[in-house]
Amino acid sequence: MEFAELIKTPRVDGVVLHRPFMPTVEGTLCLTGHHLILSSRQDNTEELWLLHANIDSIEKRFIGSLGTIIVKCKDLRVIQLDIPGMEECLNIASSIEALSTLDSVSLMYPFFYRPLFEVIEDGWQLFVPEEAFKDLESMTDEWRLSEVNKDFSVCPSYPSLLTVPKDIDDESLCKAASFRHGGRFPVLSYYHKKNGMVMMRAAQPLTGTNGRRCKEDEKLINATLCAGKRGYIIDTRTVAVAQQAKARGGGFEQEANYPQWRRIHKAVERSNVLQESLIKLVEACNDQSHSMDRWLSKLEASNWQSNVKEILTTACLAAQCIDREGASVLVHGTEGTDSTLQVTSLAQIILDPACRTIRGFEVLIEREWLQAGHPFQQRCAQSAYSNGKPRSEAPVFLLFLDCVWQILRQFPCSFQFNENFLIMLFEHAYASQFGTFLGNSVAERLKLLLSQKTVSLWSWVNRPQELERFLNPLYEPNNLVIWPSVAPQSLLLWEGVFLRWNRSSKCLDEANQEMVHIIEYNKELQNKVNSLRRQLAQLETEDGPLQTP
Amino acid sequence: MEHIITPKVEHVKLLNKYPEKKSALGTLYLTATHLIYVEQTNNSRAETWVLHHHIMSVEKLPLTAPGCPLLIRCKTFQLLHLLFQKERDCQDVYQSLLHLSQPVKEDELYAFLYTPHQNQEDRRQGWEFISVANDFSRMGLSNEYWEISPLNKNYEICSTYPSILGLPKNASVAVVTGSAKFRSRGRLPVLSYYHKDTKAAICRCSQPLSGLTSRCVEDEQMLQAISQANPNCPFIYVVDTRPKLNAMANRAAGKGYENEDNYSNIRFQFQGIENIHVMRNSLQKLLEVCSMKSPSMSDYLTGLENSGWMRHIKSVMDAGVFLAKAVSEERASVLVHCSDGWDRTAQVCSLACILLDPYYRTIKGLMVLIEKEWISFGHKFSHRCGHLDSDPKEVSPVFTQFLECVWQLSEQFPCVFEFNERYLIEIHNQVYACQYGNFIGNCQKERLDMRLHEKTFSLWPHLLKNQHLYRNPLYRRSLESTVLRPSTLPLHFKFWCGMYNHYDGGMHPKQSVLDQLLSLTQKQVEGERTMTELQRLAVADGVLPDPSGLISTPTKQDSPCEKTPTAPVVQSNGSCAPLINGDAEEAVPGAEKCNEEEGAES
């Protein structure tokens, strides 16, 4: 086993663990291929099991022969291990470093993890494109399911089955694909049942500096418009950025070639900028020596909240175009795998009540993120504590979850899931025993044989025992479109993620329990009242004939 | 009323903060007490009532093509932007409001006109409902260390103090009067709160008239007496809530702070809370941020930082936490002062009381606390709130800051307060409304001279009557014995949108957890009542000859009395605010409409 070579010292006794808001634990530290384990070997004390994959970076310090390792995790937690013996400490540190930065995906824990629970419902089957298409077919016959990408040659980051306008043949799709960045030609993202308007997504068109055009691309998107109707193209980039993209062969749709479309530019940041933003935010949150002024100025300088506001605003705009203006929408940025997906998935949460259920939200993540080719593995390789120069890491998905949390906070009764569900997804996107977020596209996942070799996150989450933790007790299905406020006053810092390790959750947990208690008790009471009523009514009808002999 | 020039103006526009939203067209009425704007559309009628006393300023803006704009800013942080068709109407309304919003004489205040359906006996009982003397007995006073003294019954020792004072038993009359002479405005050190468990006390006073060198034996003895009244700690903290620089500047004017060398066993401490003028300006800046039209996140956060408001809130909270810690952990008594001891001192003492004593976290307890630390100890409500046309430099949001600190605590500790956010906001509105007599005048003596108890009504019974609106459904009595230890890290303070942007409904969560839970607790009370009724019926029916006997068994098991989770005694039968469901048609403030600029062509 190759892991053994990386583990220089498999166990050390007398290690002291410090965690925020928890008592210190002294025990034995063990390193396995995938975990860092600290156990006090006493009953009733919690053990620490930390996935190496969750470790973002470590720091070493020495005072005499007492070494200290600060472990900074991708879920933003920071823990400290005091390790007696300089050699042991150095060995542990270098082992952790090696084990937490394994290059090969197939060495990752999900390939070794065997569930201790029985898989009742295979999460890999959660989203079946054919079934989703059947639903669509019941509402409209304007679309077809194309197999043009079945070997992933037309677009490596797309899934094999794609929903496209009925009148556009596969040949045209191939031509349109060659006109779009990474072959990501416009495909259906969402069908708005209420008025039949649609949202499509794509990558930027490859117009270049000389204004190339592509008849098939034009025809493809025009096919989604009703006669005489105009549509909106939402380019997530500013005009300036979109202009600059031309020099690199990219660009945007020219009015002359797309006369039925109106283009709107927004300013959703590119992924490398977002990574910087996350690092600054977490740094600000972890520095407790700040004065109020310094904290506010650092929060502002991180730009995180600005990013949340911009993404939500763009999603609201897309939703408005569809629901209020009754127009179809095409969303794209540059590659169509990041800001585009943030916008299309959030717009669906605003518009479609189904996305606000647990099942619906899981399907949304499958459809609009995993299948749509968001490169999870690249984006989530490192989190806020990475020391190295960021390659393609970016908290694109975390920002999406943050935006969902903002909507959830403003509509606390409209979501079937609670904040913990979103936090759980954040954690698993960055480090997990499940295979769901491995790989960067459907093609990669197939190659890795993930569905055979690993367990899906959904197989675990959807078990009733687990699901219970993620249910929102206040949920009442709400069929309306929900418009969040994007005023700065309405957008709060997501404490559940960013201040999670800087505060004791005791009081907030108590409040939550109390809330659940009130709701449960009420339900119970109403049930009892109803059943008693029924019994009495029954008694009366039974009594009736008796009294008239 | 002689001030109302035009009682009714038609075709007045109420401009919306968000330009994309259509502004309303309606009729403006001026009554003796209110400005009323009635928006009449096809079949709906929306009314906006603004109490004249709530108006902070009226400003005529430059004439525009569509009409004459009038900007009305309220002390409740409401902002009305009206547009008149005729310049003349605008001028008339402007003139009227200037007079109506700033009465010159006390008896023009609303409270002297307001008559609820109460008889003299109700009125008397209403005023007696909250009693500071009772609170002293609740604390266990008098006892062997402290006595409740009538020395100030004629307000001769200190005109701005209450008539009864908590004093250390071993302080002689000479020491008390001597100490009073050495304190600014005679505000000598007296008891604010006695912590039974530790025997430590919080005392309050004003700054000593120490100047650069003066000292006063009686004052030193007074502090000694306070120290000796606590057998658990050999020293007392003397907390000057001001920034050190301010306190030093006061020395030059013959005032200042205690010289540690002159007092035995005191530990002196500055807390750095800024003065009323800084706070007034800070709020002004904060409100500018709140009223920005579609600000960017950066504008907002930078504005929030530059206003300094959150920093000031933190400084008050820090001082309160210091006091509570000293009392509960070090078992040390604390003497608190600022300059006059009626602003910062009131904030800090009352906040410490809330941290230490769960009683003050109840609906009634907060009334007692406000009555004790603010009203009776002479927080100058009339001046600070600008009830009358007086020196604008005396106005300051000191009390608002106290309410905000309580709100910040309730955010950190959602289960320890009996009341919800609306209670704090209602109290804030009532402080400025002058509908009840409680917050009129600057000290007890003034209120007595005004005969407020005979001429006006007390707010507290009114709030108690509506307490079902103000309950916190998550309140858990079982947690109540704890001393609160809030975090005062900057990142744990939040902007209080519910207060400062109260009237910007679009900014608030569209569904309210509070409403949801309040209606559930209401349902629970009704459910339990129905249950009891049904059980009675079932038992009665079971008494009838029933061969199977099936009915009586399950009903017994169904008894709801076994576990009542929160025991919320909702006293009023009035229905709670209805459940608000998804407000689908609420527009998105700040989200630009689709008709945006086209991208520039290459």
The residue extents of the domains of chain A are 3-102, 140-499, 508-549
Say which DSSP state A479 is in.
-
What would the pLDDT profile of A153-182 be if each residue is shown by its tens digit? 999 999 999 999 999 999 999 999 999 999
Collapsing DSSP states into helix, strand and coil, what is residue A118?
coil
Predicted pLDDT at A131: 94
pLDDT per residue over B404-433, tens digit each? 999 999 999 999 999 999 999 999 999 999
Residue A19's φ and ψ, nearest 5 degrees, are -130, 150
Say whether B48 sits in a helix, a strand or coil.
Answer: strand
At residue B480, the pLDDT reads 55
Output the pLDDT for position B573: 32
Calpha distance A314→A324 (Å, rounded) = 15
Name the packing angle between helices A339-351 and A358-365 (round to 10°). Answer: 160
Q: Kindly report the nearest CA distance between residue A229 and chain B, in angstroms.
A: 15
pLDDT, tens digit, for every residue of A229-285?
889 999 999 999 999 999 999 999 999 999 999 999 999 999 889 999 999 999 999
Return the pLDDT at B481: 63
Mean pLDDT of all residues in B278-301: 97
Query: Which chain A residues are closer than 8 Å to B593 by Cβ?
Result: 320
Q: Which residue bears the tokens 């500055």?
A: B270
Computed over every residue of chain A, the mean pLDDT equals 94
DSSP-based three-state secondary structure for A190: strand
Q: What integer is the mean pLDDT of A396-404?
A: 98
Binding residue positions of B: 275-276, 338-344
Kindly indicate the confidence band of residue B533, based on its pLDDT and cuts at 50, 70 and 90: confident
Closest partner residue to A299 among B301, B476, B531, by Cβ? B301
Residue B127 has pLDDT above 90, yes or no: yes
* Stronger pLDDT, B575 or B380, i.e. the higher one: B380
Res A389: pLDDT: 78
Cβ separation of A518 and B521 shorter than 8 Å?
A: yes
**Do B489 and A502 make contact, defined as CB atoms within 8 angstroms?**
yes
Tokens 């055979």 map to which residue? A452
Please list the alpha-helical segments (H only) found in B168-291. 173-181, 217-228, 244-252, 276-290
Strands (E), B465-591: none
Contact A529 B527 (CB under 8 A): yes
In this predicted structure, what is the pLDDT of residue B479? 59
pLDDT category at B592 given cuts 50, 70, 90 is very low
B523 and A503: CB-CB below 8 Å? Answer: no
Percent of chain B at pLDDT exceeding 70 = 88
| pLDDT at A431 exceeding the cut of 50 | yes
Q: What are A41-59's pLDDT values in tens digits?
A: 777 677 899 999 999 999 9
Share of chain B above pLDDT 90, in %: 80
Question: According to the model, what pLDDT value does residue A541 have?
Answer: 76
Q: Rg of the Cα trace of chain A?
A: 26
The residue of chain A nearest to residue B601, with distances taken between CA atoms, is: A254
Q: Tens digits of per-residue pLDDT, A476-493?
A: 999 999 999 999 999 999
Residue in A211, A265, A507 closest to B599 by CB: A265
Rg of chain B, C-alpha, whole Å: 27
CB contact, 8 Å: B530 with chain A? yes
Q: Which residues pair with A68 in a beta bridge?
A: A61, A82
Which has more confidence, B118 or B415? B415
Mutate to test the interface with B, among A296, A351, A505 (most CBs of B within 10 A): A296
Reading phi first (left if > 0) and then psi (alpha if -120 to 50, else beta), residue B305 is in: alpha
Contacts of A9 (CB under 8 A, 6+ apart): A31, A87, A88, A91, A92, A95
Three-point CA angle B87, B91, B92, nearest 5°: 120
Band of pLDDT at residue B558, cut at 50, 70 and 90: very low
C-alpha closest to that of A164 among A182, A198, A187: A187
pLDDT of residue A42: 75
Domain annotation for chain B: domains and CATH numbers = 8-102 (2.30.29.30), 122-500 (no CATH), 513-597 (no CATH)
* Per-residue pLDDT at B90 exceeds 90: yes
Mean of pLDDT values over B382-392? 95
pLDDT at residue A21 in the model = 86
**Which residue out of B74, B203, B233, B338 is catalytically annotated?**
B338
In this structure, CATH architecture of domain A3-102? Roll (2.30)
Q: What is the percent of chain A where pLDDT is above 70?
A: 98
| Residue B466 identity | N
Written as one string, the DSSP assignment of B456-485 is: S--HHHHHHHTHHHHB-TT--GGGTTSPP-
Cβ distance of B491 and A510 shorter than 8 Å? no
User: In this complex, is the C-beta atom of B523 within 8 Å of any C-beta atom belonging to chain A?
Assistant: yes
Hey, is B227 helix, strand or coil? helix
Residue B585 has pLDDT above 70, yes or no: no
pLDDT band of residue B588 (cuts 50, 70, 90) is: very low
Q: Which residue of A has its CA nearest to B558?
A: A528
Nearest-angstrom CA–CA distance, A369 and A440:
10
pLDDT value of residue B5: 86
pTM: 0.92
Q: Exposed (0-12), middle (13-18) or buried (19+): which is B411, by Cβ within 10 Å?
A: middle
Distance CA A279, CA A74 (A): 11
Tell me what pLDDT residue A386 has.
Answer: 87
Q: What is the predicted pLDDT for the residue at B205?
A: 98
Angle separating helix axes B297-307 and A304-323, nearest 10 degrees: 140
B434 is catalytic: no
Which residue ranges of B are tagged as binding site for substrate? 275-276, 338-344
pLDDT of residue A394: 96
Interface of B with A in 289-308 (CB under 8 A): 290, 294-302, 304-305, 308
Sorting pLDDT into bands at 50, 70 and 90, what band is B577?
very low
As a whole number, mean pLDDT of residues B516-521 equals 94
- Band of the pLDDT at A2, cuts 50, 70, 90? confident
Query: Is the CB of A294 inside 8 Å of chain B's CB atoms?
Result: yes
Q: Tell me how far apart the alpha carbons of residues A304 and B68 are, in angstroms, rounded to a whole number.
A: 41
Between CA B443 and CA B426 the distance in angstroms is 22
Task: Check pLDDT > 50 for residue A470.
Answer: yes
Check whether the bond before B559 is cis (ω within 30° of 0): no
Model pLDDT for residues B230-281, shown as the tens digit of each residue: 999 999 999 999 999 999 999 999 999 999 999 999 999 999 999 999 999 9
**For chain B, how many residues are written?**
602
Q: What pLDDT score does A327 carry?
A: 96
Using 50, 70 and 90 to split pLDDT, how confident is the model at B44? confident
- What is the length of chain A? 549
Query: What is the pLDDT at residue B33?
Result: 93
Q: With a cut of 60, say whether residue B551 has pLDDT above it.
A: no
* Mean pLDDT of all residues belonging to chain B: 88
Q: Which residue has the higher pLDDT, A3 or B21?
A: A3
The pLDDT of residue B545 is above 50: no
pLDDT, average across residues A347-356 = 98
A107-119 pLDDT tens trace: 999 999 999 999 8
Model ipTM over 0.90: yes
- pLDDT value, residue B1: 57
Interface touch B592/A313, C-beta < 8 Å: yes
Q: In 3-state terms, what secondary structure has residue A335?
A: coil
How do residues B429-478 score in pLDDT, each as one tens digit? Answer: 999 999 999 999 999 999 999 999 999 999 999 999 999 999 999 998 76
Residue B369 has pLDDT above 50, yes or no: yes
Model confidence at A13: pLDDT above 90: yes
Interface of A with B in 495-514 (CB under 8 A): 499, 502-503, 507-508, 510-511, 514
| A interface test, pick of B297, B409, B478 with most A CB neighbours within 10 Å | B297
Inter-chain residue contact B511 with A410, CB threshold 8 Å: yes
Residue A228 CB burial class (10 angstroms; 0-12, 13-18, ≥19): exposed
Which pLDDT does position A266 carry in this prediction?
97
Please indicate if any CB of chain A lies within 8 Å of the CB of B527. yes
